Amino acid sequence: MSKHIINPMRISLLLLLGVFTGCSTIATYDQEAYKNATSLKVDTLVVMSKANEALSSHSSEVAKLTIALDKAYEYDRNRPLNDITVKMWDKLRNPNGDLLGGFLREWKEDGPMLPKYVQHKKQQISEGFDTIIQLESGKMKPAEAEKKL
């Protein structure tokens, strides 16, 4: 008969594991990740404003921006449960895509761009950054996550 009695401690442990699994589907909010994304958005738009000139005139600024983007990407890529954000960064940085990576490639390959085109691309890329920023700001704060446990 004792074989069929369920240990309350075991039930509690299973329930606790279920809560951890259910709540741990996305990374919690990270101030550094938020700061990286908001700062890079501003820096990117400033550099993009210069795309009506030759890239060679701004190559050091573009190099610094690219390094900063790579650092932010690596930071987010190495956070647990952060796959959605990493995919957004991948899309934004893709040199064969329509966002920042593609814009920088076009600037390098095709030279100065028309102001109207630059403005259009700035709007698109700004929205890409906003998506990353909004996802991060919408994540549960670590203290809130602990309270749910």
pLDDT tens digits along 109-142: 999 999 999 999 999 999 999 999 999 999 988 8
Task: With a cut of 70, say whether residue 79 has pLDDT above it.
Answer: yes
What mean pLDDT value characterizes the chain? 87
Task: With a cut of 50, say whether residue 91 has pLDDT above it.
Answer: yes
pTM of the model: 0.79
Domain boundaries, the chain: 27-148
Count CB atoms within 10 A of the CB of residue 23.
Answer: 14
Q: What is the pLDDT of residue 145?
A: 56
Tokens of 26: 């996305």
**What's the first-to-final CA gap in the chain, in angstroms?**
34
Q: What is the pLDDT of residue 40?
A: 98
Q: Greater confidence, 145 or 49?
A: 49
Q: What is the pLDDT of residue 149?
A: 55
Percent pLDDT > 70 in the chain is: 79
C-alpha span between 53 and 76 (Å, rounded): 32
Task: With a cut of 50, say whether residue 19 has pLDDT above it.
Answer: no
For 10, 96, 113, 125, 128, the CA distances from 91, given in Å and listed in that order, are 44, 9, 22, 10, 9
What counts of helices (H) and strands (E) characterise the chain? Answer: 7, 0
